[in-house]
Amino acid sequence: MMVYVHENFADKITVSDLAKVGYISERDCFRVFQECLHMTPIEYITNYRLQKACYMLVHSKDTISAISQECGLGSSSFFGKTFREHMGMTPMEYRKKWRNSDI
């Protein structure tokens, strides 16, 4: 199921999709993610998309809007809101902070 997320993160992914590729019920999908990763499938998808977005913000010159679309996070306003909630800064602030960093 995690491989499916990694290969399809730019597309719309539902819990039903994950359950189908894992040959389990949606309820079991929630249970497996909670037991193994201590998060819901949706939280995992969002976290993975944000990881990809962070990488792209630092290593590409794509616009914020393009990155939000490429990562499956929808509109740039939703992307900005979600990014701020998880990272504590805007995508542009993150880009400026880490693009010029030697770390």
Q: Would you say residue 50 has pLDDT above 80?
A: yes
The predicted model scores a pTM of 0.91
**Confidence tier at 59 by pLDDT (50, 70, 90):** very high
Domain span at 84? 2-99
**Confidence tier at 101 by pLDDT (50, 70, 90):** low
Number of domains in the chain: 1
Single out the residue of 15, 52, 43 nearest to residue 62, CA to CA. 52
- Region 73-96: what's the mean pLDDT? 94
Question: What's the chain's Rg over C-alpha atoms?
Answer: 15
pLDDT value at residue 100: 74
- What CATH number did the domain enclosing 78 receive? 1.10.10.60
